[in-house]
Structure 1
Amino acid sequence: MEYSNIQLAYFIERPNRFIAHCRLVETGKTVVVHVKNTGRGKEVLLPEALVALDYVPSPKRKTDYDLIAVKKGDRWINIDSQIPNDLAAEGLLQKKIVLPKLMGEIIYLKREYRYGKSKFDMYFETDQGEKGFVEVKGLTLENQGIGAFPDAPTLRGKKHVLELIEATAAGYHSYLLFIVQFSKIKVATIHQAMQPEFFQAVAQAKQDGVTILAYNCEVDESTIELLGEVPFDLTQPFIDPNL
C-alpha cells in the first residue's frame, strides 16, 4: 500500500481527536490536517515529532492533508485506521495471512458483512464449504517491543468480539486479527488496564474458540506492507507509556 503524495511535517498540537496542526518541513507553513485515527496516540504525537502527511486536496474536504504516519525513534508507525482492513483483505486473498483451522482455500471474500446487529469486517467462504468471519483491528500502541490494543476504550470493538463468540457457536470460523502498524514487535497483547471489559471479552472469545492472530508491517513515511505473523499472548503484561 502506497500513499500518492506524501509531505513531511512537524507535529505541533492536536486540538481534538480529528484535527491536528503541523508545520511543513519544506516551507515552514502551518497546516490543519485530518488525523486518520481516533485513538489517543499521546506517546507518539509529541511536539516536533516528524509526521507524514498525505496531500489530498478536494473542495469537498475541510482539510487538504491526512496525517498517516509518525516517526518514533528510528522507525515509522502508521496510524491510518482505514489501512488495516485493506491490508487484511489483500493478505487473505494473496495467502500472506494464513487462517488456522481451515481445511480449504478462500474462494470468496466480502467486506463489511452484516451479521446479527452489526457488521464484521470480512466474511469468507472456502472451496471446502467452510464459512467464517474476520474482524480486523489496527494496533499502533507500543512500549518496549510489546504492542497492545486498544489505546482508548472501544465499545464497538467489545461488541464485535462478543458477536464473534456468537458466530463461533453458530458454526462459523471466527478470527480476531490485529494488524500491527509497525515492524519491531516481540509480542502483541490486550491493554487490560485501558479497558478491562474488552480484555475479558477477548479472553472469553479465545476460550470459546475464536482464533486470535497478529501480523506486523514494514512501514516508512509513504508505504505500509505486511511482513508476517507475530506472537499474540493474552497474559503478556503491558506498561502504558502514557501513564
Structure 2
Amino acid sequence: MTYPKVYLAHFNHRPNRFIAECTLQETGERVTVHVKNTGRCKELFLPNVEVALSYQPSPTRKTDYDLIAVKKNSAWFNIDSQVPNTLASQAILDGTIVLPGLNGQIVSVKREKRFAQSQFDILVETDTGQKAFVEVKGMTLENHGIGAFPDAPTIRGLKHVTELIEAIQEGYQSYVLFVIQFEKVELATIHTKMQPALADMISIGENQGLRVIAYNCCVTPDTIAIEHQVPFDVTKTFEDPNSER
C-alpha cells in the first residue's frame, strides 16, 4: 500500500487519542493531525520524534493530515489501524500469507463476515468447501526485537478469540493473524501482563485447533507491505517499554 502526498514532520504532543500536534519539517508550520490509531503508542510518540503525515484535505474533515507512521530509532513503524485488514486480505488471496492447515485452493476472500456475536475480519473459502475465519490484529508494540499485542486491554479482542474457538466447534478453521506494522522483529507474543485473560484464551484456543500466525511488514514513510512470517509464542515473556513511563 502506498499513501499519497506524504510529508515528514516532528511530533509535539497528543491532546487525546484522535489528534496530535506536529510541526512540518519543510515549512515549520504547526498542524493538527488525525492519529490513525487509538491505541496508547506511548513508546512511539516521544517529543520531537519524526513522523509521516499524509495530506488528505476535505470539506468534511476537521484536519487535513493523517499521521500514518512514526520513526523509532532508525526504523519506521506504521500505526494506521485500518491498513492491516486490507494488507491481509490481499496477501491471503495472492499467497503471500499462508494459512496453515487449510485444505484446497482459496477461491474466495470476503471481508467482515458475522458469526455468533462477532464480525470477523475475513472469511476464506476453498475449492474443497472448507471455510475459515481470520481475525486480523495490527501490532505496533515492540521491545528488544519482540513484538506484542495488545498495548492496551481489549475486550473486543478477547471476545473475538473466544468466538473463534466456538467457530472451530462448528466446523470452521479459525486463525488469529497479527500484522506486525514494522520490520525488525524476531518473535511475536501476547502482552500477558497487559491482559492475562487474552493470553489464557489464546493458549486454550491453540490447544483446540486455533492457529495464531504473525507476519511482519516492510515500512517506509509512505508505504507498507507484508514481508514474511514471524514465529509466534504465547509463552514468551514481554517486557513493556512503557512500564516506567
Q: What TM-score does the superposition give when structure 1 sets the normalisation length?
A: 0.99
Please tell me the residue identity of whatever aligns with 1:153. P
What is the CA-CA distance between 1:203 and the residue it aligns to? 1.3
**Corresponding residue of 2:82:** 82
1:45 aligned counterpart, secondary structure: coil
Q: List structure 1 runs of 4+ shifted beyond 2 angstroms.
A: none
- Equivalent-residue separation in structure 1 for 2:196 and 2:131 (angstroms): 30
**Corresponding residue of 1:230:** 230
**Corresponding residue of 1:205:** 205
What is the CA-CA distance between 1:182 and the residue it aligns to? 0.5
Equivalent residue runs for 1:1-243 within 5 Å: 1-243=1-243
What is the CA-CA distance between 1:6 and the residue it aligns to? 0.3
Q: What TM-score does the superposition give when structure 2 sets the normalisation length?
A: 0.98
Please tell me the residue identity of whatever aligns with 1:201. M
Instruction: Describe the superposition over 1:180-233 as per-residue Cα deviations: whole angstroms up to 9, x where unpaired.
Output: 000000000000001111111111111111100000000010000110100001
What is the CA-CA distance between 1:235 and the residue it aligns to? 1.1
- Equivalent-residue separation in structure 1 for 2:32 and 2:105 (angstroms): 45
- Equivalent-residue separation in structure 2 for 1:37 and 1:204 (angstroms): 29
- Equivalent-residue separation in structure 2 for 1:148 and 1:131 (angstroms): 28
2:124 aligned counterpart, secondary structure: strand
What is the CA-CA distance between 1:132 and the residue it aligns to? 1.0
- Equivalent-residue separation in structure 2 for 1:190 and 1:118 (angstroms): 21
- Equivalent-residue separation in structure 2 for 1:197 and 1:230 (angstroms): 23
1:129 aligned counterpart, secondary structure: coil
- Equivalent-residue separation in structure 2 for 1:12 and 1:201 (angstroms): 38
Please tell me the residue identity of whatever aligns with 2:132. G
1:2 aligned counterpart, secondary structure: coil
- Equivalent-residue separation in structure 1 for 2:199 and 2:18 (angstroms): 26
Structure 2 stretches of 5 or more lacking a match? none
What is the CA-CA distance between 1:115 and the residue it aligns to? 1.0
Structure 1 stretches of 5 or more lacking a match? none
Instruction: Describe the superposition over 1:29-61 as per-residue Cα deviations: whole angstroms up to 9, x where unpaired.
Output: 111111111110000100000000011000011
Q: CA RMSD in A?
A: 0.6
Identity over aligned pairs, percent? 58
Please tell me the residue identity of whatever aligns with 2:116. G
